[in-house]
């Protein structure tokens, strides 16, 4: 569509030049997105499987964490780095905390984006927001708590990424157990399409991948037990 519109413009006009430049930059962005997706998956394949995390936010969090996770004493240290550790703001008989303005602001913004995605699309997060709102908490307090929770989840995935199988591993195990993809769908209550996407690496879902792996191992154990 865009290419056909450009051909209608006068070749030497400024609009044609800008349009061609736009298409070139758009193509370059697409190539960089593919490259970044590959690099983030290679660095930590489980991270993008966390709900709400995409290629951009995964890259930001990986850069913030660095290569040496041992420098973090615990997940609270990582939360402090991201600027989501709670800061006391109590007064009198009122006990409360406020947003932390320090830390890595890019990592903080990445956590904010993840939280916003979950507030719109994750049922558990929606229920939590509703409950906190009914308790009289402000939007800022709710977001602060959610960012702290996400930071804990992200650190756990960063520290234990090797324990999460990739899609190809799951598919290999399923075929070795002579199980059909419909067997998995019926047992775990998930669509065949999503399972296929996870096995092919199109979709990342860390929580489901772990559940899927555990189910396959249980099926294998049952077969061994029956054979014995």
Encode pLDDT of 40-88 as tens digits.
Answer: 888 887 888 888 998 899 999 999 998 888 888 889 889 989 988 876 6
Please state whether 41 falls in left (phi above 0), alpha (psi between -120 and 50) or beta. Answer: alpha
At 3-40, the pLDDT tens digits run 555 555 556 667 777 878 888 898 899 898 889 888 88
pTM metric for this prediction: 0.70
The pLDDT score that the predictor gives to residue 160 is: 80
> Is the CB of residue 122 less than 8 Å from the CB of residue 51?
yes
> What is the per-residue DSSP string for 59-73?
HHHHHHH-S-GGG-S
Torsion of CA 49, 53, 57, 61, to 10 degrees: -60
- The domain limits of the chain are 2-43, 47-160, 167-227
User: Can you list the alpha helix ranges (DSSP code H) found in the chain?
Assistant: 2-8, 14-43, 55-65, 75-81, 105-121, 123-134, 139-159, 167-176, 181-188, 192-200, 206-227
Q: Which CATH number fits domain 167-227: 1.10.260, 1.20.1420, 1.20.1380, 1.10.10?
A: 1.10.260
């Amino acid at each position: 569509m865009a290419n056909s519109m450009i051909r209608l413009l006068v070749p030497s006009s400024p609009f044609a030049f800008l349009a061609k430049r736009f298409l070139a930059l758009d193509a370059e962005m697409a190539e960089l997105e593919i490259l970044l997706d590959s690099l983030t998956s290679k660095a930590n394949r489980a991270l993008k499987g966390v709900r709400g995390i995409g290629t951009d936010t995964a890259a930001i969090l990986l850069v913030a964490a660095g290569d040496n996770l041992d420098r973090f004493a615990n997940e609270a240290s990582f939360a402090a780095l991201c600027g989501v550790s709670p800061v006391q703001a109590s007064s009198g008989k009122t006990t409360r905390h406020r947003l932390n303005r320090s830390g890595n602001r890019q990592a903080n913004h990445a956590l904010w984006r993840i939280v916003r995605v979950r507030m719109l699309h994750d049922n558990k997060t929606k229920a939590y927001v509703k409950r906190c709102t009914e308790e009289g908490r402000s939007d800022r307090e709710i977001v602060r708590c959610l960012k702290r929770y996400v930071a804990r989840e992200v650190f756990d995935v960063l520290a234990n990424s090797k324990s999460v199988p990739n899609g190809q591993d799951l598919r290999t195990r399923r075929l070795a157990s002579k199980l059909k993809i419909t067997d998995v769908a019926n047992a775990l209550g998930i669509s065949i399409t999503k399972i296929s996407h996870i096995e092919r690496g199109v979709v990342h879902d860390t929580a489901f991948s772990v559940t899927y792996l555990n189910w396959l191992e249980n099926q294998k154990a049952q077969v061994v037990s029956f054979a014995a």
